[in-house]
Amino acid sequence: EVQLVESGGGLVQPGGSLRLSCAASGFTFSSYAMSWVRQAPGKGLEWVSSISAIGASTYYADSVKGRFTISRDKSKNTLYLQMNSLRAEDTAVYYCAKEDSGGYQRTSESLQHWGQGTLVTVSS
Amino acid sequence: SYELTQPPSVSVSPGQTASIPCSGDKLGDKYAFWYQQKPGQSPVLVIYQDSKRPSGIPERFSGSNSGNTATLTISGTQAMDEADYYCQAWDRSTGVFGGGTKLTVL
């Protein structure tokens, strides 16, 4: 059974940093692309970033480009999102999601499985 | 940047067919995906690559995509289908979600 468990969320001041983690199990982690998707309170889903199966390719939404960094550790079966220069508008529940392939097409991949999310609050 | 547009809300009577549209420029040239999200829960994939159903998703869920519009159709809608539904596509390797549609079954 695929399991994705996010952690690392919390309260941070504007301009601060936070690193989210997503522990994966139940599948061969190094064979699948992974993504982060966020949802501000009471709002819709927003794609944040994706990383290919072996980590060679990364993709970012314009709203986080240059501030967030996605990475993965095959030895720990863990996905990360390093978030710097945080703003109030980054406040959201952050979900990690497993894609259904290695992520090299970037046209046909679905967000097949989702974690339970971790809440990030940016406020002074 | 690419945009996907959904109606904020759709209502349907139990047992009837619900259709939720998602529009975007030449969306039919891309794959459309649909996610269901119930209150307090994580999203669940219900349709991928326009019209395919993941295992465990009831047959009453179907999808189509042509021209500028993708459509999620729920036949014989049940009370348990009441949820927010989001369409999604990829544009130049980046993910794009529609604003979401709240489906009310009444």
User: Phi and psi (nearest 5°) for B6?
Assistant: -125, 150
pLDDT, tens only, B19-64: 999 999 999 999 999 999 999 999 999 999 999 999 999 999 999 9
pLDDT at A103 over 90: no
CA distance A70 to A48: 9
Reference A119, options A58, A64, A45, A38; nearest CA is: A38
Q: Which residues of A touch B84 (CB under 8 A)?
A: 44
Interface residues on A facing B, Cβ-Cβ cutoff 8 A: 35, 37, 44-47, 50, 59-62, 95, 100, 106-117
pLDDT at residue A12, as a whole number: 98
Question: Structure tokens of B6?
Answer: 């959904």
User: 3-state class of B28 per DSSP?
Assistant: helix
Please answer yes or no on whether A37 and B37 come within 8 Å at the CB atom.
Answer: no
Residues 6+ away with beta carbon under 8 Å from B46: B34, B35, B36, B53, B54, B57, B61, B72, B85
CA distance A63 to A68: 9
pLDDT, tens only, B70-97: 999 999 999 999 999 999 999 999 999 9
pLDDT, tens only, A38-55: 999 999 999 999 999 998
